[in-house]
Structure 1
Amino acid sequence: MKQIINPQRLYSLDALRGFDMFWIMGAEEIFHKMAEITEAPFWHVLAVQFIHPDWHGFAAYDIIFPLFLFLAGVATPYSLGKQIEKGETTNSLLFRVIKRGLILVLLGVVYNNGLKIMPIEEIRFGSVLGRIGLGYMFANIIFLYTKQRGQIIWFFSILIGYWLLLTLGSAPGFPMGDMTMEGNIVSYLDRILMPGRLYLGIHDPEGLVSTIPAVATALLGIYTGNLLKNTTEADKTKTALRLVIIGASLIVVAQIWNLFFPINKNLWTSSFALQCGGISMILMATFYYIIDILGYVKWAFFFKIIGMNSILIYMAGDFIKWSYTASAMFGWLGQLVGEPYNAVVMVFAFLAVQWGFLYIMYKQKLFLRV
């Protein structure tokens, strides 16, 4: 069924954000459990795509994190842009952007370490939320103080500058351009600059220096948001096609760059940023075309519920034992199904409990805003 949607709100943005968070909530376990149970090549291939490569390389699961940051950028012209149109001053918006970014950094520290006092050297400061916060913050500052041309210049300057940093630098005792975990310049700088502990001892996948190219990911989202926001009703389909073409072009460039500058999520290499940016643009165009252009909305409600409270469901996993609730409410169903597929049933129960919680929050109009 088609539905007329509010042109002032990008329904597809909430839906795609929810689709992204759906996998973070634990949906990837469906493929892992099916691969374990059936040992079928089909399920094994899917399961492998939901495991991060150890270092170089790319899997479908790698898109989850940068897609979320990209979508934060897409929202910028709608959120900050709306405030600018209302006449709010740049300084007041700057304060709001910095405040939100730092709150996300703080929430990331809480997510990693819990609410307990510990020595600084035992605290892990690098986090997913921290990178989102800093990437969002700096990209939004660029948005506030530059026009689109300036934003594009910043985008390419960041990616090229980061490439030069990695190819011309290295840790002491390693050859120039070393890209190993021990020898690359980015991990080395994190070991010097970052307080506390790094996730892998000598490297943190959410380190400080590798957050620099993440700013470019958010800027690409801002570029996409500008295109969508400024599109007339008659040109919506053209805009969706334009996003697909740009996205595909970025993926091609990323694959060429990958030949001498590897795609690497741990380092958020420039080739990785382009690869994920291209995929993100195509996903955004697809959701936008189906939902906001064709008007097929009802199917996306499931994801919208998740997308409108994405930070809440991410943080809740650190404080609520969803598996306990799922077992208490649906354990009987797992017993009815029996071995070995009860494990798959309980993954669906785990997801259902979380979604039910978010639905109640949605109905009560309770949203965690940062």
Structure 2
Amino acid sequence: MQSVTASSTEPALAQPAPVRRLLSLDALRGFDMFWIMGGEEIFHVLAKTTGWTWAAVLADQFTHASWNGFRAYDCIFPLFLFLAGVSTPFSLGSRLAKGDDRSLLARKVVTRGLVLVLLGIVYNNGLFERSFADMRYGSVLGRIGLAGMFAQLIYLYVRNERARYAIFAAILLSYWAAMTLIPVPGFGAGNLTMEGNLAGYIDRLLMPGRLHRVIHDPEGLFSTLPAIGTGLLGIFAGSLLRRHNISDGRKLQWLMITGIACLSVGWVWNLVFPVNKNLWTSSFVLVAGGWSLLILSLFYWIIDLKNWRQWAFFFVVIGMNSILIYLAGEVIDFEHAAHYLFSGFLSFFSEPVRALGAVIGFLAVKWLFLYFLYKKKVFLRV
């Protein structure tokens, strides 16, 4: 891991920096990370302090479904993995076109994936807090690292695009078959509860350390398989956007049509294989992927086609250093800084205003930290 300073113009996040950057991609990545770094608290605070119905509805959407089902917040994580896939054809594809060695690129992909796994372990456990037996090894960064790594390796070594589509379908269908047909001792086949599902059983057998929910880990080993499909779906979108023989308008149409198709198939599949983020079910891949495609379509249309860019700067600053801000909260007390800067001013206002102001101040401190790095051209490269 290294910092990229003023001598570099192309930062990277969970993958190599694209040679030709789409501003919509950086803005959407920042929009996604905004909610991860605390933006959802705006609606929770409003709902708690005002009782407004619309705020309560949005606050509910910014919580995870307890098991089966889908809410807006369930799309945040897969959208980030999807976007890592979108940038792959611009980064690896451009290097392949220049004649870079495929095996060398593969080694970089694997190294990057393993570094993210390691960072995820550190993020979960700290550096010196636990024994190896008590550590949690599954993580959000680990899922991005492993699923993104395998999706990129497929991109590197499976050159036929139709073959990649076939692998995508095979991944989703095989995971469905395994989860519904392979029996779990004491529960039988097709049990999709937290206690009896195959993914949790395999993770209890194979994963070291502790699982996030004792008997189940939402970022476990076996459910990484369908997450590769999420990365591949992003690669398909990026491959489309990189093509030069299709008009921008046609690209937009294909993104929207594919997004609607994924949503439709995903919700139909939900009837027999429930949409479930914890299990990262095949239907969840399609529903989250469908929304990811539609959101990407919107950002692509507004920013890259209509050229309405000024509003996106706020999110671009976040998107250019999204991995950094995800990790920084573990070593920088942004909440204390926000309290120090704004508590005196906010003390003159009512409780609802103070609560909302505290959240906005917290987000402002984080954004200003990222803006400082952006102006200095310092970006985290993994």
Q: TM over 0.5: same fold?
A: yes
Distance in 2 (CA, whole Å) between partners of 1:8 and 1:334 is 44
Match of 1:221 among 196, 216, 234: 234
Alignment of 1:83-162 (within 5 A): 83-116=95-128, 118-146=130-158, 147-162=160-175
Match of 2:190 among 171, 177, 195: 177
Q: Deviations over 1:7-57 (max 9, x none)?
A: 932110000000000000101001001111111221111111011111111
Contact 1:171 1:182 in 2 (8 A): no
Deviation at 1:321, TM superposition (A): 1.2
Partner letter of residue 342 of structure 1? R
Contact 1:169 1:184 in 2 (8 A): no
The 3-state SS of whatever aligns with 2:95 is helix
The 3-state SS of whatever aligns with 2:77 is helix
Contact 1:139 1:215 in 2 (8 A): yes
Determine the structure 1 residue equivalent to 2:10.
none
Distance in 2 (CA, whole Å) between partners of 1:117 and 1:280 is 36
Determine the structure 1 residue equivalent to 2:351.
339
Deviation at 1:338, TM superposition (A): 2.8
**TM-score scaled by length of structure 1:** 0.96
Contact 1:77 1:226 in 2 (8 A): yes
Deviant stretches of 4+, over 3 Å: none
Determine the structure 2 residue equivalent to 1:3.
none
Contact 1:73 1:219 in 2 (8 A): yes
Alignment of 1:178-327 (within 5 A): 178-232=191-245, 235-327=247-339
Contact 2:50 2:352 in 1 (8 A): no
Distance in 2 (CA, whole Å) between partners of 1:297 and 1:243 is 20
Distance in 1 (CA, whole Å) between partners of 2:297 and 2:196 is 39
The 3-state SS of whatever aligns with 1:337 is coil
Gaps of 5+ in 2: 1-17
Identity, % of aligned positions:
54
The 3-state SS of whatever aligns with 2:127 is coil
Deviation at 1:360, TM superposition (A): 0.4
**TM-score scaled by length of structure 2:** 0.93
The 3-state SS of whatever aligns with 2:327 is helix
Determine the structure 2 residue equivalent to 1:80.
92
Deviation at 1:361, TM superposition (A): 0.3
Deviation at 1:96, TM superposition (A): 0.3
Contact 1:13 1:71 in 2 (8 A): yes
The 3-state SS of whatever aligns with 1:368 is strand
Distance in 1 (CA, whole Å) between partners of 2:19 and 2:230 is 26
Distance in 2 (CA, whole Å) between partners of 1:158 and 1:149 is 14
Partner letter of residue 22 of structure 1? F
Q: Deviations over 1:193-223 (max 9, x none)?
A: 0000000000001001001100000000000
The 3-state SS of whatever aligns with 1:57 is coil
Distance in 2 (CA, whole Å) between partners of 1:317 and 1:251 is 34
The 3-state SS of whatever aligns with 1:272 is helix
Residues matched between the structures, number? 364
Distance in 2 (CA, whole Å) between partners of 1:245 and 1:273 is 16
Partner letter of residue 239 of structure 1? K
RMSD, matched Cα: 1.3
Distance in 2 (CA, whole Å) between partners of 1:159 and 1:215 is 9
Distance in 2 (CA, whole Å) between partners of 1:30 and 1:277 is 26
Contact 2:19 2:94 in 1 (8 A): no
Q: Deviations over 1:234-265 (max 9, x none)?
A: 71011111101110111011111111110000
Gaps of 5+ in 1: 1-5
The 3-state SS of whatever aligns with 1:267 is coil
